[in-house]
Chain A
């Protein structure tokens, strides 16, 4: 079912909750049960019927976040697909998250209810009004325990601020503001105010014929509430400081790797388009994902990345067909682990890759039911590019390009990862004693 395709995955700040958004506009939140320990990368099969086991994630809440809309004035169909979910840090008993489709950002409150008042005077237990004439005594309603109910309510709707399609949202470290970015503009919002937002970046040219690049992703610095970055379709990243001016059209830093002109081809610009940008937890580095590589940049060095990792370089000889089937425009995300020592990103054939920045070792794993039984250890995979295919290797020509892992998430402090493979969610845990 198309509506079930997962379009975003995000852990909250403690890792206790995991939210997924799908193409049908629904959000499903999973909650982790009690702690557990083990060893090796094991598979935790996700199923609603599963007996609750410690350390595993179970469905906590599910709700319809966005509905499809049609803008009649512009003849524009607005998809309900959830593009991004971002959690707010927890400040009270309730959980708050932002979810966005192409045009509208919503703040959702997810709260638990495990008590309910009983013994009303004016209505009976079913809620029907009592005939006042029959009321002869007064009683004080008391709170009685009830089965846990988790409710999600929309608390704010931030609409009508984006002409183009929203690709990113990012909660600021001040926890009072957040930004939303579309193809040409970035807006700054205050959580309390829905009818106004500040435009902080606008790259729309006066003449659309002169359009050469669009904004592809944006994120606030994890600690400095005045700093944010945004990436472009030309493979560049700009860092902006909001203290410099109200409109941050002039960047503070500009990150671009010089291209060897002799390497240029028709595909150069398309494959250099950055599909995701993420600050490291330390705030010192940014990671970018373009079609074939993941790069780590030091904020102090703008002229080239400090590390480049090849995700699936064998696709270089397939660019023609990847262009024809539109796969070349797939937007892969990338994530850091909690200590910024390992980075992860997805690929095709339900493969995903992890790169250890310290040991320089990398591994390719597969997220699929056929190849992993629950509690089994994931076997590393290998793609063979030459003629001689070893047993257990997959040849480039037999890769399934419809099975793409675009969205992954890493627990903020533990080695637990969530991998979205089309309409299946896999959660893997590295159980280390």
Chain B
């Protein structure tokens, strides 16, 4: 970063000391950094930062509070079965009750999977979660 004639460039005492050892201060700092974080990418401070910069403010899907119906997800443990969602669970329960398949008429307990539900048939929807994390918009 040298300048042309007549420009004010002053490196100070630090570089004098370092230059005697033949190492640029940045190189020494780079070595320190690589020692601490050996997995640090080979690309010299490039795209990773750019992508992070472009992604600023984006919430990962996991942390985005969605409002869904009861979502059942039972882990598969030996002997137990897992279910994809509440509909799946209800279906399985129905089958276990020996094929009490619902008729075309309204059956408030089993509206998923076997017949086309009408609005009256659907279980009460949970109200939307208040997105309190985002209310203030200031997440530090």
Contacts and interface: CB of A to CB of B under 8 A. Distances in A.
A70 B45 contact: no
A88 B56 CA distance: 30
A265 B134 contact: no
B137 A268 contact: no
B50 A233 contact: yes
A47 interface: no
Contacts of A266: 26, 30, 33-34, 40, 44-45
Interface in A239-261: 257, 260
A68 B137 contact: yes
| Most chain A beta-carbon neighbours within 10 Å: one of B10, B15, B46 | B46
B14 to A, nearest CB: 5
Nearest to B51: A211
Interface residues of B, number: 51
A53 interface: no
Interface string B10-37: 1111110110000011111110111010
A329 interface: yes
Given A306-B4, A307-B7, A316-B15, A102 B57 contact: yes
Contact of B14 (A67, A314, A329): A314
A313 B11 contact: yes
Interface string B59-83: 1110010000000000000000000
Contact of A317 (B7, B29, B44, B134): B29
Interface residues of A, number: 60
B3 A264 contact: no
A68 B138 contact: yes
Contact of B47 (A211, A264, A293): A211
B104 interface: no
B39 to A, nearest CB: 13
A269 B50 CA distance: 11
Contact of A70 (B49, B51, B137): B137
A151 interface: no
Interface string B98-140: 0000000000000000000000000000000001001011111
A432 interface: no
Contacts of B36: 320, 324
A362 to B, nearest CB: 7
Given A68-B137, A233-B50, A76 B14 contact: no
B8 A307 contact: yes
Interface stretch (A77-85, A187-195, A218-226, A280-288): A77-85
A292 interface: yes
Given A214-B53, A266-B45, A314-B14, A76 B138 contact: no
Given A183-B50, A317-B18, A385-B12, 19 more contacts: A68-B134, A75-B64, A77-B57, A77-B137, A165-B57, A211-B54, A212-B46, A214-B50, A257-B1, A263-B26, A265-B24, A266-B34, A267-B26, A268-B44, A309-B7, A316-B25, A319-B33, A355-B8, A360-B8
Interface of A: 2-3, 67-70, 74-80, 102, 164-165, 183-184, 208-209, 211-214, 233, 257, 260, 263-270, 292-293, 295, 304-310, 313-314, 316-320, 323-324, 329, 355, 360, 362, 385-386
Q: Which 10 A-B pairs have the closest CB atoms?
A: A68-B137, A308-B3, A265-B26, A319-B29, A316-B25, A386-B13, A320-B29, A320-B32, A270-B45, A317-B25
17 contacts: A75-B64, A77-B59, A78-B137, A164-B54, A165-B56, A165-B57, A183-B50, A212-B47, A212-B50, A265-B26, A265-B27, A292-B1, A295-B3, A310-B9, A320-B36, A360-B6, A385-B14
